[in-house]
Every structure is written in C-alpha cells, then in structure tokens.
Amino acid sequence: MHLKRIELEGFKSYRQRTVLDNFNPNFNAITGLNGSGKSNILDAICFVLGITNLNHVRAASLQDLVSDYGKTGIERAAVSVVFDNSNRARSPCGYENYDEIVISRVIVSGQQKCFLNGSICPISKIIDLFRSIHMNVNNPHFLIMQGRITKVLNMKPLELLSMMEEATGTKMYESKRQVAEHLIHCKEKKFKENERLLVDAVMPKIKKLNKQKDEYNQLKLAKSKLGMYERLVAAYRYHQAKENISKFNTLKESSLKSIDSERKIMACKQEKYTEIEVELKALKKKQGQCTALTKLQEELSNCNKDECSAQSVYESKVNALKKLEEYMQSLSDHIAKTEKNKADKNEMYAQRKQAVEEEEDQFQRLKDSAKQYQIMCDVLQNGMTVDTEGKAFTMASCLTAAQGKLTNIEVEKNSLEMKIAEAKKKLKKNKEMQDAAIPEQKQLISDLDRLEKEVQNLESSIAALQFDQHQLNEMNKSYQQLSDECHSLEVKLRQLESQFPSLEIRFSEQAPEFDRNKIKGRVAELIRIKNPRMAVALDVTAGGKLYSVVIDSSETVRMLNDAKCLKQRTTFLPLDAVESKILNRDVIRRAKSLVGDENCNLAVDLVECVDPEFQKAIDHVFGTTLVCTNSEMAKTVCFDKGVRARTVTLDGDVFSPLGTLTGGSKPSGGYLLEMRVKNQSIHDEFRGKKNQLEKTLKTLHELRAVAQKHSALEGELQMQLMKKNNAAQRLQSCQAAQLEKECESLKTEIDEASCRLNSVNEDYDATKRQCNEISAAWQNSKVNKEAELSKAKKSLKEATKKVSHMEEIVTKHQEELSRLENDIEVLTNDIENAKQEKLRKELEKEELQTAVKDSKFILDGRVNSTKAIEEQLRVIREKLKNENKDAEDMQNEVQQLQQECRDSELRLKQMQQDLNEQQKAAEKYENDLTNLCNSNPWIEKEKQLFGVAGTEFDFEANNPDDAAKRLVDAHETIKRLQGHVDKRNVEKCDVYQKEVTDLIRKRKVVYKDRQHLEDVMNLMQEKKREAVAVALEQVNEDFGQIFSMLLPGANAKLVKVSEEDILAGLEVKVAFGDAWKDSLTELSGGQRSLIALSLIFAMLLFKPAPIYILDEVDAALDVMHTQNIGKMISEKFKTSQFIVVSLKDGMFSNANVLFRTELRNGQSKVQRIAKQIPTLETVSRSDVTYEQRRKKAQSRVQVLRDDCNRLTDNCEGLRIVD
C-alpha cells in the first residue's frame, strides 16, 4: 500500500482546495522556500493517519489547523488521502478487497469527523488500520523529523537498547513484564495481609476453639472424679482428727510441767535485778546528771525533724517541677502533632477546593450547554435557523444583512482608493522639500556625533575608575568603628597591666624624633602561651628577660643610649646581634625518655611568636630550659649525665645542674605571664583590630583619591550631556527632520490603507459569494430543518442528564469541603488552647524553679545545723565516756537481766498460749468429727476401714494430700468452666479446622503458580535477550553498510556496554579506515548526523513500513552527503514509498517526483514536477545475500516473538494471589 493522492482545503496555509496527485510509489520529494507550506503537507498526512497529540503537528487545538485560525471566514478544514491498495500482500487486515482506500478528516466549528471510504467512522478505527501495517502515528518510527536526529545523537545506552527492542517487537513484552512485576508487588501486600489475618485472626480463633474443646473434656473428667475424691478426703480428715485428739491430750500434761519450772527461774532473776538497780541508782546520784547532753540531744532531735521537713519540701518541689516539665513536653508534642495534622488538612482542603471549583465550572458549562440546546429546539420549532454562535435568524434577514454589508464594503473601497491617491501626492511634495533641507541636517548630525564621542570618552574614564560611593561610605564607617574598638581595647589592657608598670616603655622628654616602629616591644608582649598550665613555669624560666626590649638593630640601641631616650634602665635584644640558643635535640630526647614525652618539654616549644621575625630573640630567652611536671621529674632530668640542663617545674621550682634549687615562694604581685594568659584573648583581639585598622586606613586614602578624580569627571560629563541634549533637540526640530517624520507617517498611512484595501477586496468577494450561498441555502433549508430539530432534542436530553449527574457530584464534594473547614477550625482552636496552656505552665515552671532553689537553700542550712550539733554531742560523749564506764557496766548487766526476765516472761506467755491453742485445736477436732459424721453418714458404717490396706481408704496407696489438691482442682475446674464452655463451639471446631487446612492448601497452590509465573518471565527475558542479539547482528550489518555509503571509507556499529548482558545497553562506535574511535566527541556535527541517520535507516530496514516521511533530515549536511542519502534511499528501500521534505538539490535530484511549494498572497500553492530517474535493473549478488540474511534474522525474531506469545497465553490461568 502506498500514498497516491492528497487533497487539502482550508488546512493551515492551504486556504483553497489544493490537490497533490500521482505520487510515485518509491521516491517523492517536496521543496520550497521557508514558510511556503512544505511541512504543512506532512502535518496533513499525519493528521489523516489519526494523530491525537496536536503538538506533533504544531497546533494547540483543532481550530489552529483551520486556515488563519478561522478569522477570515474559513470555518472548515478538510484533508483527504487516497492510498493505492493494489498490492494485496501488503494490504491492511480486512481491506484486501479494496483497490483504493480513501481516508478523510474534517474540522468544522472546532469539531472533527473521520471518513473511511466515504463512511463516517471513529478515529480509533483508522489508527488500528495503520497499526496493522506497522504505522502507529502516535509512536511513529516511519516519521523522521529533524529533531529526531538530534534525539538519537544524545541517546544513552538504555535508550538505544529501547530502539532495538522496538525494532524486534519485544518492547510490549517488557511493558507486560513490568506490569506483571508491579501486580505481583501490589498483590504481595494483599497476600501478606491475608497471611497476617490467618496468623493473627483465624489461627487464634481455631486455637481458642481447641482450647474450649479441651476445657469441655476437662469438665467432664472433673465431674466424674469429684465423688471419689470427696469420700477419700473426708475419711482422711476423720482419721487425722482422731489421732490429733489423742496427741493433744498427751502434750497438755508436758506443757503444765514446763510452765511451773520457768516461773521459778524468772523469780530468781528478778530478785538479782532489784539488787543491781539499787546500786546503780546510788552511783548515778553520786556522779550527778549531765544537763548539757540532754539539751543537745533535744536540739539534735528538733534539727533532725526540721531537716526531714525541709527534705520533704525540697523533694516535693523537685517532683512537682519534673511532672510539670513532663506535662509541658507532652503539650509540645501535642501541638506539633496537631499542627502537622492541620497542615495535612489544609493541603487536602486546597486540593479539594480546586477540584470543587473545576467541577462547578464544568457544571456551569453543562447548564449553559443545556440552555443553548433548549433555545435551539425552541428556535427550530418556530421555523427559524441557528448559526454557529447559537443565534436564531431567518434566511431572509440573513440575505438582507449580507446585501447591506456588500454595499458598505463598496463605499469603504472607494474611500480608501481616494485616500491613497491623496497621500501619494502629498508624499511626493514633501520629498522635494526634504532634499533642499538636507545640508543643514548633516551639519547638526556631525555636531551631535562629536558630542556623543566626548560623552562616551568621559563615561569610559569614569567607568575605568571603578569608583563606588557606597564602598567609600562603608570604609569610613569601618575605619571609625575599628578606631573606637582599638581605643577601648587599649584602655582595657592598660588597666589590666597597671600592676606591672615595668612593661611600659617610657621615653624621656629630650628624646629625639625617630621611627618608633624599630622598637618591637618587650619579650612578654611578643609571645603567646600555648597551654595556660605552663604560664608559671615559663615566667620563672624567662625571669627578668621577660622585660627585655626586642629592637631591630644594634645601631638603634646605640642611638637610644647615646641620646638617653629611655627613663629606666633597659636591656635590649637587637635582632641583628642576638644569638639563638636551643638545646641539642638528642639531649631533649634523652630527657623525655627519662620521664615520658608528656612530662618534659623544651620551654621554647611551649610558646609561639606573634611574628616569625622575633624567633631568634625568643629562642635566646627560652631555648635552654626544660619544663617538667613535678619536682621529682625535674630533679631526675636536671642531674642526669646525658642531660645536665636547667629544669623548671609547673609550680615554679628551678633545678640547676650546678646543684642549686630555687623556689618555694610566689611574687607578691603575681606572675606576669599568668596574668597575660588570662587576658590573652584581649591581647589577640587588640592586635588583630590594630592590623585591620592600618589596612583600612590605607584603603581609605586610595578611595578618597579616586573619589576626587571621579567628582571632577562627573562634573565635566554633566556639562557635555547638557550640550548633547541641546544638539539633539535642534536636530529633531530642524525642517528636514520634521519633513522626514511626515514622509514616514504618509508611507505608513499608504501601507495601512493599501493593506486595508486588499482586505476590503477579499471581504467584497467573500460577501458576494455569501449572498449567492444564502440564496441557494434558502431553497434547501426546509428539507434540513426536521433533521436538525431531532438532533437538537437528542443533544438536549443528553445535556440535561449530564447536568443532573454533575449537580449531585458538586453537592457531595461541597459537603466534604465544609467538613474539612470544620476540622481545620477545631484543630486551630486546639492549637491555640494548647499554646496558651503551655504559656501558663511556663510561668508556673519559673515559680517552681524559684521555689526549688529556695527550698534547697533552706535544706542546706538545716543539714549544716544538724552536723554542728552532732559534732558537739560527739565531743561531750567522748568526755563522759571514761567517767561512766562503771555505770555502763552496771547498766549493761541491768539491761541483760531485764532482757532475760522479758525472755522468761515471753516464754511463759508462749507456753500458756501454746497450751490454750492445743486446747482449742482439740476442741476444733472434736467439732470436725461431729460435722464430718453429720455431713457424711456413711462414716459410722465404714470408719473401721479407714487406713486399712487394700481398701479404697488405703491412705498409703491413695495419697490423701494429692486427693485434697485434686478435689480443690476439680471444684475450681467445674466452677471455672461450668458457665462459659459451649458444646456448640466444640462441634464447630472440627469444621473450622477442616476449612483452615483447605485454605493453607490453596495458599500453597498460589505460591506455586506465582513461582511458575516468575520462571516464565525469566524465560521471556532470555527470549528477548536472544531476539535483541539476532536483531543487533543484522542491524549492525546494515548500519555499517549504510554509513559507508553516506561517508565512504568509514564504518559504524552498535556494541554492548556489558559483555555479560546485552540488555545493559548499547553504544555507537565509529571507525575511519581501521581505527575505531573511543568517543563520538571527536566527530563534526555533520558526521554525527550521518551516524544518526544511518542507524535510523538500519532500524527501518529491519522493521519495514510501506511509507516513510522525512522532514529536512539533511539540514546539517553538505550537498555531497545529501546526494548520498538520496542515492541510498533509492537503492536500499525499493519496496517502500518515501516522502521527503528538503531544501537541497542533492536530495530531491534522486526523487522520481518533485513537488515545489510557494506562497502567493498568503496562500500555499503546489506544482508537480515529474523527473526521469533511471531505475537500477540489475541487483548485485551481495544485495541478494544481504536481503536473505535480513529475512532470516526477521524470521528468527518472529519465532522468538511467537514463543513469548505462547508463554504469555500459558500464564493466563495462573493466580498471582487467591
């Protein structure tokens, strides 16, 4: 099947009916100037093929496809395409009996209709027709636009693989596989939910039923054993009661004898206790009583009570504070949670509100549509007609209006012609006057150009200065701020260092002027201590050298001494003469090995210079002393033969290898370095601010100099701008300029009038045709009115139904929106209340914290008071200890006798109590015997068998204790199970158990089916991998051959990204000669376009279509390569029809038919040019071989695709989830 004829009317730039006839079955080309309508022909073909995305035909709506968007009276666009279907082997399915297939697509008033062989049909039918011959216009591989070339160039490996899958036809299986995997993933959640229900709900219920079944069996067994246990327990209780009565009678006599003996012993001890107590009272009376001890004990007791009270108050306050904090945290969590809920509700409200607004708009449109249909029905029933805007009118009124419009157009036409003639006459006169005034205008232009150059030079000079007034202002502010900060810090440092007045360098009044920067400062001011703990040791190490002054040179020292510049005696360290003294590193390593690295350091390593140029002086002061942690270590290091160096401890003790030890005291004014360490941050800040101040001052001087230059240039610029503006005004007001403006205005007026005249002429022709059409339509209107009325009534019924349905939806969604508003308001109030509550609790928390502090203060005071009294008590008791030793011994003896008497009394009471309990027990057993005999009459008859071996009352064979426990268990079992054991549940248990077993069996079947489905998907993946590999081999062969034809001497192929898996992606490799390139970045744009075209054509060869459309694919190519493409199409695609849009002769010189477009009066015209292209009668053997291999590869891919179809069909009955 191939394209034979195209008819266009009112489509884009083709206003009038245009026919493109006699398309060649092989190679057709379309050419023409830009904007002449070439691509509109391709858009028309795609439009007929059933395209749904109008962006692909460069339109936003159907109305955009109508010529001039329907603004010039054209309201209808129609495209018809005739296809030659004489080749039955390549006919669409179901259309083998048609020699021609005619497809039309019409747009009228924004609505479209499709026709197939003269019959109206849905667009989906046309899309299916072309899909059956591999022409899917909504995913076209037969349509190659210029943008697709760029897209192929930028494709990634997986995108190239996707092209290959499309060519093999396996892409849809990938989509099905992804859908199946997604379905398995989705159903997996449901399956797990069913599994959870089985485990969490069903199985527990089965377990509960089984439990009830077991309880039912327990109840039956307990009832059957109850009587036997009751007889055995009653018999054992009777037998035990008899034995206990005889035993208690024997124990009663023994207890009475023990009571008499204990009473006699107790009387002897009480007599001895009375004698010792009399002696103790006499001793206490002799010694007297200590009143201070009693008073302190009373005070201690009171203090303990007060302390307990204070402790209780403190703990209660702390607990209250803790609970309040927990409550406040819960409030914060509640507020955060509520705010999140409110945000979710707000977001949902916004979405719902937008949806409701859209539905309300749709509802209003439906109401308007129904109203319009109602009006149309009323109008048609009254014998009138409705236009496209829904307005009613009669044919007579319409004809009258058209004739009146025609008269008005004639009047306007005559007026425009007169206006144009008058304007041309005036334009000619103004031209003559303008030529006479040109010399004056040229002089003014020359003056203006000169002034503009001067202005530009001044502006360039100003721009070159790069002056920024804001920067100058900011720099002034910065300088003032830094100056104030430096002054403040300097005052603070002077106050802090006033206790060390020796630090200040005071010059004498007669000191001459010299560069004070040569004096660098005292040693203490030029160092920073790394570790504050080392301050004392370093101060002792340096000693008086801390006050030495570092100076630049010996020459300066000599000058100062000669002129007597300083008031105090001063030691100088000139940097050009001072020697750097540092202990040998071997000595330092030896010292560290003796006491450890962390316990021994060279003093100079513990400080750092504020400036590297002072390092020699610092080495001179600190380089020969070691700092150790303590005296023992310092002594060990100092006197070691391998060290023999001065050492200092952290406390300031100094050990000398000469055998002297210095230390043990601290200076009255403190240590200088210790003070400086405390104020180190202030020193650092002062030094940094001072450096910033110097830099800022330097920058400020530079900016002020630039500001002066800028101000001078700015004044000169203003003067020149004034002169330039005056010159420009003179130029604009001169006679030549005024005449030029009038001429331009006249030209514009003539052009507008001419354009309007053309439009009026078109309106005149259109209105005249409209009059004729209305007259003809008046005659036919009676026949069509009945059909229009029936159609209007049907539309009215459908519209009314839609309005009712939409009204229900809008009402429902408005109610949901109202509920959301109420929820948001409730949440807002909740948040506000919670925040207010939190604010109140914060105030309460502050009060509690104050109360806790107060109670803690009171508690500490009470504890201290208690400790003081306890200490006083301890002193007094220690004093009385020796004096009361004898009294204590006697007191101990008295206490011992008291205890023994109390023990005897307790034993007597216990014996009497035991006797009474035995009596009561005997009486109890007598009562038990009576009660047992009364409640069990059978005991009198069978009591002689109790305890007899071989009977049911054999207490050795049948343990009575076990029987009693079992009796209790039986009663409890009956009591526990009697009320809630349901016999019906026991019967249901077996039924449910069977159903669950069947459910588990079905679950196993589902598992098995899903596993089979996954195996099939894996097998399909292998089939797809094989199909892609077969297609890759064939496409590579065609790819390389086509690229060689387009670019002789070159080759190209697709290679796998991963050797293990072809589905990892593909990439393009190019060779020139025998050298394969690693990347395409080395190629030119034209070469890259040839690669993309070669790959596209190779894919097309593997998956051929009857028609191919190419839109300026040769735009980036030169003439030679364009000609090669045309030659390749003629040779390689002999069974397909090509329609190519091109601007280059090299392309369409190979075409059999050429259509040339041009634009006339805003309308596209087409001219057909037949060309005689010699056909290639001979076919080379290699071409036959290539074709055979291609068909073989296509057959193999088709077999693999059929296998995949069978696998898909086999999986139709499988269950992913039950």
The CATH number of 1-142+1106-1177 is 3.40.50.300
The contacts of residue 1039 (CB under 8 Å, 6+ apart) are 1052, 1053, 1054, 1094, 1095, 1098
Q: Is 28 helix (H, G, I), strand (E, B) or coil?
A: strand
Q: Could you tell me the two tokens for 1156?
A: 């040339």
Q: What is the dihedral of CA 498, 504, 509, 510, to 10 degrees?
A: 170
Segments in 978-1081 forming alpha helices (H): 983-1046
Rounded to whole angstroms, the Cα distance separating 484 from 592 reads 48
CB-based burial label for 1157 (10 Å; 0-12, 13-18, 19+): buried
Rounded to whole angstroms, the Cα distance separating 44 from 57 reads 8
DSSP tag of 109: T
Q: Is the separation of the CB atoms in 29 and 1112 below 8 Å?
A: no
Task: Report the amino acid identity of residue 1072.
Answer: F
Q: Is the separation of the CB atoms in 1114 and 1122 below 8 Å?
A: yes
Q: Is the separation of the CB atoms in 25 and 84 below 8 Å?
A: yes
CA angle 664, 665, 667 (to 5 degrees): 155
**pLDDT number for residue 1181:** 47
Instruction: Report how far Cα 104 is from the mean position of its chain's Cα atoms.
Output: 51
- Residue 460: other Cβ atoms inside 10 A: 9
**pLDDT number for residue 82:** 94
Q: Is the separation of the CB atoms in 890 and 244 below 8 Å?
A: no
Task: Report the amino acid identity of residue 594.
Answer: L
Rounded to whole angstroms, the Cα distance separating 23 from 1155 reads 9
The contacts of residue 433 (CB under 8 Å, 6+ apart) are 735, 739
Q: Is the separation of the CB atoms in 1121 and 1090 below 8 Å?
A: yes
DSSP tag of 624: T
Question: Position of tokens 């268990």?
Answer: 969
**pLDDT number for residue 1218:** 42
Question: Position of tokens 């060990």?
Answer: 636
**pLDDT number for residue 1179:** 42
In the chain, where the domains are located: 1-142+1106-1177, 219-290+901-977, 513-590+610-678
- Residue 749: other Cβ atoms inside 10 A: 16
**pLDDT number for residue 1177:** 42
Dump strand ranges (E) for 72-137: 76-84, 100-108, 111-116, 119-121
The contacts of residue 707 (CB under 8 Å, 6+ apart) are 467, 469, 472
Handedness of CA 103, 107, 108, 112 (dihedral sign): positive
The CA-based diameter of the chain, rounded to the nearest angstrom, is: 168
Residue 302's alpha-carbon distances to 60, 308, 541, in angstroms, are 98, 10, 59
Q: Is the separation of the CB atoms in 986 and 212 below 8 Å?
A: yes
Task: Report the amino acid identity of residue 616.
Answer: K
The contacts of residue 280 (CB under 8 Å, 6+ apart) are 887, 890, 891, 894
Q: How many CA atoms lie within 13 Å of 143's alpha carbon, on the beta-carbon side? A: 18
pLDDT-flagged residues of the chain (< 50): 289, 388, 1175-1181, 1213-1218
Q: How many CA atoms lie within 13 Å of 519's alpha carbon, on the beta-carbon side? A: 20
Sheet order of strands, 519-522 included? 519-522, 549-551, 572-574
